[in-house]
């Protein structure tokens, strides 16, 4: 049990996918303008991460031992079709949610956090349960980073920034400061 809690905590804050490993920066820069969109984006990502983790576990157990060179190709195909299926399912089950997600759903395919999770999970040899906990932790971490960033950006909209600094440069510097703050969590390692 302690092992699982540790995997969760590590993925969520210490090795935060966005702020420490630089995965999933596209949505982090692109949709972190508003708080509620970023929350929804985080939730969608967490969902896809969890299902991906399940599929990757199945691939690793039943398919890839026979054809290791297909790893990357099979992962990306599975992720792309998975996102498509999730998209169709959400459209059927809850049209309101589908409309709210808009373009973000299909874009999850090219989010490197998803493929990154698949590769990390394989390299670290996580089993079924560990994989799911890892995916949940990564999802929580992504959501946390997105929500923090969105809250800061909503406030910086009102601040008086030099005109040249408006836009991505400022966002990156804010992200740098956030990332520095998250490095503090590395201290948890010795405490446990």
Partner 1 sequence: MKKTTPKQDLLRGVWRENPVLVQALGLCPTLAVTNTVANSLAMGLATFFVLMGSSFLVSSFRRWVPREVRISTYILIIATFVTVADMTLAAVVPDIHKALGAFIALIVVNCIILGRQEAFASRNPVGRSLLDAAGTGAGFVISLLLMGGIREVLGQGTFLGVPLLGPHYEPWVIMILPPGGFLTLGVILLAISAIERRRASRAERAAAGTMRRAA
Binding stretches for partner 1 (CB under 8 A)? 19-26, 29, 69, 71-73, 76-77, 80, 110-112, 115-116, 119-120, 123, 163-165, 167-173, 175-177, 179-180, 183
By C-beta, is 44 or 115 nearer to partner 1? 115
Least Å distance, CB 110 to partner 1, is: 5
Q: Which of 175, 138, 147 is nearest to 16 (CA)?
A: 138
Q: Which is nearer to partner 1, 19 or 132 (CB)?
A: 19
Burial 116-136 (b: 16+ CB within 10 A, else e): bbbebbbeeebeeebbbbbbb
CB of 4 to partner 1, least distance (A): 22
Tell me how far, at minimum, the Cβ of 2 lies from partner 1, in Å: 26
| CA atoms of 34 and 119, how far apart (whole Å) | 30
Closest to partner 1 by CB, 5 or 88: 88
**Residue closest to 46 by CA, chosen among 147, 137, 151:** 137
């Amino acid at each position: 049990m302690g092992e699982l809690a540790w995997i969760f905590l590590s993925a969520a804050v210490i090795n935060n996918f966005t702020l420490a490993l630089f995965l999933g920066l596209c949505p982090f820069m692109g949709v972190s303008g508003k708080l509620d969109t970023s929350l929804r984006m985080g939730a969608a990502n967490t969902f896809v991460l969890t299902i991906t983790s399940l599929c990757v576990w199945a691939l690793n157990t039943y398919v890839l031992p026979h054809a290791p060179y297909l790893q990357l190709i099979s992962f990306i195909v599975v992720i792309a079709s998975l996102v498509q299926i999730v998209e169709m399912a959400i459209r059927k089950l809850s049209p309101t949610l589908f409309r709210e997600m808009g373009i973000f759903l299909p874009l999850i395919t090219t989010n490197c956090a998803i493929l990154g999770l698949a590769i990390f999970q394989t390299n670290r040899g996580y089993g079924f349960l560990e994989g799911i906990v890892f995916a949940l932790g990564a999802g929580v971490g992504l959501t946390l980073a997105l929500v923090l960033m969105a809250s800061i950006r909503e406030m910086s909209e009102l601040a008086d920034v030099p005109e040249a600094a408006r836009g991505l440069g400022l966002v990156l510097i804010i992200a740098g400061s956030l990332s520095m703050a998250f490095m503090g969590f590395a201290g948890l390692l010795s405490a446990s």
